[in-house]
Amino acid sequence: MCGIVGYTGPREAYPVLIKGLKRLEYRGYDSSGVALLSDGDLNVYKKKGKVAELEESVLGKDLSGTIGIGHTRWATHGEPSDRNAHPHYSQSGRLAMIHNGIIENYAQLKQDLLVKGYSFKSDTDTEVLLNFIEDIRSNNNCSLEEALRIALKRIVGAYCILLISDDDPDTILAARKGSPLVIGIGKGEHFLASDASPIIEYTKEVVYVNDYQIAVVRPDELILKNLGNERETPFITKLDMELAAIEKGGYEHFMLKEIYEQPDTIFDCLRGRLLTQSGQIMMGGIENNLNAFINAPRIIIVACGTSWHAGLVAEYLIEDLCRIPVEVEYASEFRYRNPVINQGDLIIAISQSGETADTLVALESAREKGAFIFGVVNAVGSSIARLSHAGAYTHSGPEIGVASTKAFTGQLAVLMMMALKIGHAKGTLDEARYLRLMNDLATVPEKVKEILQDTANIKRIAEKYKDASDFLFLGRGYNFPVALEGALKLKEISYIHAEGYPAAEMKHGPIALVDEKLPVVFVATRDSYYEKIVSNVQEIKARKGKVICVATMGDEIIPGMADDVMFVPDADEVIAPLLSVVPLQLLSYYAGLAKGYDVDKPRNLAKSVTVE
């Protein structure tokens, strides 16, 4: 969850580190810090709060040094505080380390070190690991690299660590397991980070470090080794990313920018794949493995959070258009449930970051049991992309806002194309409907642009209901997962308690909550469930609930019943989620804004969940 950054080369390290931390702050923002090495002096500065507070606290301090490491934290062990912020010193003060992940056996290691006379200044597992490394080096009279290697064989858990020592003024030691690490290659310099956003300004040549690898990084040298001390050849990748993609570009917040980018990001996802003139869908990951999909006795979709909601839409899509049984699983439960996986089963993993810890472990287990893994991810070169047998990128570009918006619609676009292609190839989707849905999908970017042309009404609705303590979101069919996503967004951004349900289920309990104070949001676009949704709206109005509807433009019935309406263009119900979710994204954004919250960095959340 945390953000890490490192630099070694001819530049002053501090400006590189602080700019990198600002770009990584979406990964964690309860504290931050830097360690700088200059002329044998190892200086650590850290502060509770956001990176801006760290910047203010180091004014007038010695920030010299051409090698350094920086960290922005999402707390796991120990409450957010100055003393629990990273980097941490070793007991001797000669080593400094930053860490993303959780060391599960830290308690026993800590007890052993306490017996040996070590003391600790923080509550973190990171400080325990650092002193464990120092203890190994001291007792074995070995190099720091060898001590790190020995320590990593003893610990249990996930980690990405950067380590510097006052007796090696050019070298950063790095290692990863389960938490991402990318190394940028410059001319006589190297950059290290949790993702490419701090690196893109300096170089487009990067190396993605694999699990169980140790990197020895110097200004003019990059050595990769495995835990057996065998050298491995770095694979250099070119970044397909522009600096403008990770900057606000005139928008007040990244979340708003990313909502407004969706006409372009959906178009980029469809481009070169959805070929309406020839009636073809070209997706290499599907094309090369078409028989695996056509003959799959069952598809299991594994995801977390917003990606899980995309998976629920895919369940409707695949069962409707392809007639293949689908199960949608929370990765965190799937990995521990000892699920039954048979030969031929196909796993679709959905993840924006491609680094989600629970999803990764679930996939490793499924792959060992013989399942075919197909990844739907946004981040090129990510762990899930590399673990999968095949996959499809969403091409949504960097998503900096913690609450997922454009990544969700990118996932939906990919999943819709997949279902159309498989259903057509399998013969369960007839030619006429296939072509009609293709053409409808191709119009989505323009229709999203139409929704975004005038958002004043949505802003008004958000401000009207911002003081509500609870919300209920209801939908049917393809729009039920959209209701779940709308509720999640509102919770994440405005901190208003919200629940999503299938509209028909409200009579089985949730309707007891309805009174004149409860806003109820219906995703009520014109589809095969429309008459049922109208009845559900009437049931809420009869109990004096406040009704907000997402409705199809031109609808004359819903506006006469609802207190407030947000309109979307007409679309087939298969395609509708790509449109009906956009007003709900804006509703949550404007509600959070009206309440004065930081919508890009909602409390307690981080962008990429790389720990359990």
Per-position DSSP letters for 387-400, written without gaps between them: HSSEEEE-------
CB 497 within 8 A of CB 471: yes
For residue 277 the two structure tokens come to 């003139």
Positions of E strands within 81-171: 88-89, 95-103, 157-165
CB 356 within 8 A of CB 330: no
The dihedral formed by the CA atoms of 14, 20, 23 and 24, expressed in degrees to the nearest 10: -110
CA distances from 388 to 165, 364, 595 (A): 37, 9, 42
Cα–Cα–Cα angle for 206, 69, 134, rounded to 5 degrees: 115
CB 534 within 8 A of CB 523: no
Cα 140 to Cα 80: distance, rounded to the nearest angstrom = 35
The percent helix, strand, coil of the chain (3-state, each to 5) is: 40, 25, 35
**Residue written as tokens 């109990």?**
543
CA of residue 16 relative to chain centroid, distance: 24
Residue 547, φ and ψ in degrees, nearest 5: -105, 125
Residue 543, φ and ψ in degrees, nearest 5: -105, 15
How many helices (DSSP H) and strands (DSSP E) are in the chain? 20, 27
In what side-by-side order are the strands of the sheet with 372-377?
326-330, 299-303, 346-351, 372-377, 390-393
In what side-by-side order are the strands of the sheet with 564-568?
497-502, 470-475, 519-523, 546-552, 564-568
Host H or E run for residue 373: strand 372-377
Cα 39 to Cα 65: distance, rounded to the nearest angstrom = 8
**Residue written as tokens 């980029």?**
268
CA of residue 311 relative to chain centroid, distance: 15
Question: What is the end-to-end Cα distance of the chain in Å, rounded?
Answer: 10
CB 85 within 8 A of CB 34: no
In what side-by-side order are the strands of the sheet with 41-48?
41-48, 31-38, 67-73, 3-8, 190-193, 182-185, 205-208, 236-238
Residues recognised as catalytic: 2, 607
The dihedral formed by the CA atoms of 599, 601, 605 and 606, expressed in degrees to the nearest 10: 130
Q: Angle formed by the axes of helices 577-594 and 444-452, to 10°?
A: 30
For residue 63 the two structure tokens come to 């920030």
Name the DSSP letter for residue 126.
H
Contacts of 56 (CB under 8 A, 6+ apart): none
